Amino acid sequence: MRKFNLFLKRAFDILVSSVLIIFFTVIPVMIVVPIVIRLTSKGPALFKQVRIGKDQKPFTMYKFRTMILEQYDADGNEIMSEDRITKIGRILRKTSLDELPQLFNIFNGTMSIVGPRPMLDYQAPRCIGEEFRRFDMRPGMTGLAQVKGRNNILWEDRIVFDVEYAKTFTFWMDIVILFKTVLLVFKKEGTDVKPEYRGVSRFSKHYVPQEETAEVEKEQTENV
């Protein structure tokens, strides 16, 4: 039964991504959005990034660029991601239009419409035990974690939902998640990250394991 559900899932991915690619090209969102991005900020319209997909295999994910290119200010301080988002980028994120180029990822089989969101290359090795089950499925444009809270749930909780999805997946479950996602997009819920969800966690960029922190502190003490 699971194999049949996976067959339906892939057939649905190919059909829907093909139709939407044609649809958004004809409208023509796929043409207008890149032009607006290029006119309003320096840099390419398309953002490409290596992510970790099914079976922990890396792939290149596509999105419309929503941030400025500069990562550091004039004093050399790192600019927080939330502060790098452009005006047009905020609109694209609220409407989820920045995700449209991922339709090509879905068509080529590196992603699915529904599945765990693709992790960054430094995040995947930080999974523990059963958390690796999330890589049993192709990453998705949306998923169970997204309809449970989108950006405003802790990373550890997202992983729990990802594992739940991988274990209990059915094609009907995908349809329900997709329907809920459409409602969230229209409500524009969960697009802005609340301050309480911006802290350092095991899956954040600047996370340092406790044992490494203790070792650094020990070396600093010995050098005093």
Output the pLDDT for position 216: 37
Check residue 217 and give its pLDDT: 43
What pTM value is reported for the model? 0.84
| Amino acid in position 209 | P
Please give the pLDDT value at position 190: 55
Compute CA distances 222 → 45, 213, 216, 218, whole Å: 50, 14, 10, 6
Q: For the chain, what are the domain ranges? A: 2-223
Cis peptide before 116 (omega within 30 of 0): no
Task: State the pLDDT at residue 155.
Answer: 85
Q: Average pLDDT by consecutive 10-residue portion of the chain (224 residues)?
A: 94 95 87 94 95 97 95 87 91 91 96 96 94 97 89 85 96 95 77 58 77 45 48
Handedness of CA 79, 80, 83, 85 (dihedral sign): positive
| Cα dihedral 145, 51, 133, 108 sign | positive
